[in-house]
Amino acid sequence: MSDPQSLIDSLLRGVMIAGVNRLVFKGQPVFSMGTVNEGVRLGAASVGYDLIVRPAVKQVLPMVPLPNGK
């Protein structure tokens, strides 16, 4: 996940999600610095999740017993 292309993809995905959110739900202009700022925040949160939370969950999850005993 830490390769440069994945980081860029996550940031651009955040900008696209912010643009759709501003257009559909807020009725604000899509092509603005507000969209870029919100998108970078969303992208950075996605990158943080992929780098920090996902590996921790993958490490802990196998140790949790399942209710069906498997």
pTM: 0.69
Rank 1-10, 39-48, 59-68 by mean pLDDT and report only the highest.
39-48
Q: Which amino acid is at 8?
A: I
Cα 40 to Cα 33, 34, 53, 63, 65: the distances in Å are 10, 10, 19, 35, 38
pLDDT (tens digit per residue) in 11-30: 889 999 999 999 999 888 88
